[in-house]
Structure formats: structure tokens, C-alpha cells
Amino acid sequence: MPKILMFILCVLLTFSSVCVQAQSWQPSSGYTQIPIWSAAVPDAQPTAEREEMNLVNDLLVAGRPWTQVGKVSQPTMTVYSPKGNNTGAAVIVFPGGGYKDLAIDLEGTEVCDWLTSKGITCVLLKYRVPGENGLYLKSGPYPVSPIALEDAQRTMGLLRFHASEWQIDPHKIGVLGFSAGGHLVAAMSVHFKQRVYPVVDAADKESCRPDFAVALYPGHLSLDRKPLELNPDINVTRETPPTFILQAEDDPVDNVENSLVYYAALKKAEIPVEMHLYAHGGHAFGLRRTSFPITGWPQLVETWLNTIGMI
């Protein structure tokens, strides 16, 4: 009898393990996640919790659900090569999620499908967004927590280090992000002279400055109590890269002031910047087309990239 019970227990544990593993996000067939840290992950959180993946059915976008990933502890990048002509340009994509989770398909894989169809290499970063509960305490933007910026800087260095291998022009690498990912775009655009983590290897000796930046309905850029003032941690200089900004004025999550104050700072520093504001559109629409004109933004970005000589 004890042997039978032991056998049943082993089967149950095996089945449970498979179920837990299935909760971790995996790219579609033919693509592989690459761990971005070759050794210990800096500022790793001591927790036994595993990465979670959920299908969101109650907040449909363009009539379809989307996938949410949380509790990321092992950040990865997935490289999507261009389909057909290769322009040499590359974009690191930061999905949004309030620095608590990641809209991994809505603001991630679907973006890569668009970029690769235009001859642009897309690198989807599954960065750490540990949230606020339990042992996941280091949430929020830099400098409250350095982990998302650490992952982003590391990925940019890896991309330039492997540029020849992945058929990328190291001088045409940009960043694109949504919501909290839009803030990470701005953070990358101003915090690039020094890594916020100890140097690991030769990849960290490469520049982590983006050659261009696309911030889509960004958050955390204006101050809560003084919405027309820029977050002092986003110190725009003459070295900040050319930037594209897009937002809806009726955005209920990240108020339009986030885009306005960042645009003003870029203009003051004489940085080439293009901003598009729409009366309607809300928040978190990704690339999915709706009845709102703002969802035609991908064509605007393509035109802008051509204008600044990136494609």
C-alpha cells in the first residue's frame, strides 16, 4: 500500500510540475528565449514564486483577449529576424503593464510581427516587473527599483555585441515601449553613460544609448502633484536620441501630461521629436485596430523612421 501511495504521489507531483512550467511564457515555435544574464541576476529577489501567465478575458482589446505575464525573475530576450528585406535596423520592445506585469502579446509579439514585416529585427524583452505583493517589493520605475533598467541596458549591450551575428547595424538600434514600457524608453534615453549594475562581460562595454526611441502612451514621466513638471529622474540632454511620442488625450491611466512634459523637455534640449496627440483612443490598445484613428500609429512610426534615416 505505501508503494502505491508513493507512486500516486510521484505522478501528482510530476503533473503539478508540468502545470507550473506551462505557466511560464514561451515564444511561438521557431523562436527561443535567450537569458540576458550569463551569471547571477543583479538585485534578484529572494522568492520561491514562479513566473505567472494569464489570459485576460475581461478587458478585451479590439474584441480579443491578451496575455499577461507576471513575477518575472529570469529576464530573457527573444530575437525575431526580418521577413524578406533586412534594413539593418533593430528595435528592442518593452511591453507595458504598470511595472507589475507585461502585456506580452498585445504590446510584444504582435509588435514584432509588424516590425519584422518591415525588414526590422525585433527583440522582445521579458524584463523584470515583480509587482507589489509578497516578497516582490522592488516595483516601480528607476530609481525606486533599478531592475527593469538593468535588464534594458543589458539587452542593448548584448544586441550591439552580437550585431554582426544577427545582421544588425549597431548604429540603428532603437527602443519602443508602451505605458510603463514607454517610461523605460525614456529612462534608456537619458541613463546610458553608465550601467546601473556592475559590468558582467564584454557586452557591457558596448554603448547602451538607443539610436532612436518610440514612447507610446508613456507613464511615470510627469509628477503626480505637479503634472506639468517632468520627473527629475528623466534628465533630458543634448545626447538624448530622436524620439517619437504618441498618446490619446482621454487616456484614463497615463494622463496626457506625461507626453506633454517629455515633449517640452526634448524641445528645450533641441532633440528631434515628433509627437501625435489624438482626442480619443484610451489606453493599452497596442497595434490592434479599432474605430479610433490613433490605432493607425504604426504607419506614422514607419514614416518617421524613414525620415530620420533608420530605414
Give the CATH number, domain containing residue 150.
Answer: 3.40.50.1820
Q: Is residue 286 part of a domain?
A: yes
Q: Determine the structural domain holding residue 217 and report its residue range.
A: 32-307
Q: What is the pLDDT of residue 39?
A: 86
Residue 1 lies in a domain: no
CA distance 169 to 152: 18
Q: Residue 68 domain-assigned?
A: yes
Q: Do 172 and 119 meet the contact criterion of CB atoms below 8 Å apart?
A: no
- Please state the domain count of the chain: 1
In a domain, 222, yes or no: yes
Using a cut of 0.85, tell me whether the model's pTM lies above it. yes
Position 24 in a domain: no
Length, in residues, of the chain: 311
Name the band, by pLDDT with cuts 50, 70 and 90, for residue 82.
very high
Query: Whose grid coordinates read 533593430?
Result: 90
pLDDT at 295 over 60: yes
Between CA 225 and CA 36 the distance in angstroms is 37
- Is position 103 within any domain? yes
Does some domain include residue 164? yes
The Cβ of residue 89 has, within 10 Å, a number of other Cβ atoms equal to 23
What is the pLDDT, as a whole number, of residue 48? 57
Q: In what order do the strands lie in the sheet with 52-61?
A: 52-61, 64-70, 101-103
Instruction: With respect to residue 9, please indicate whether it lies within any of the assigned structural domains.
Output: no
- Taking 90 as the threshold, does the pLDDT of residue 45 lie above it? no
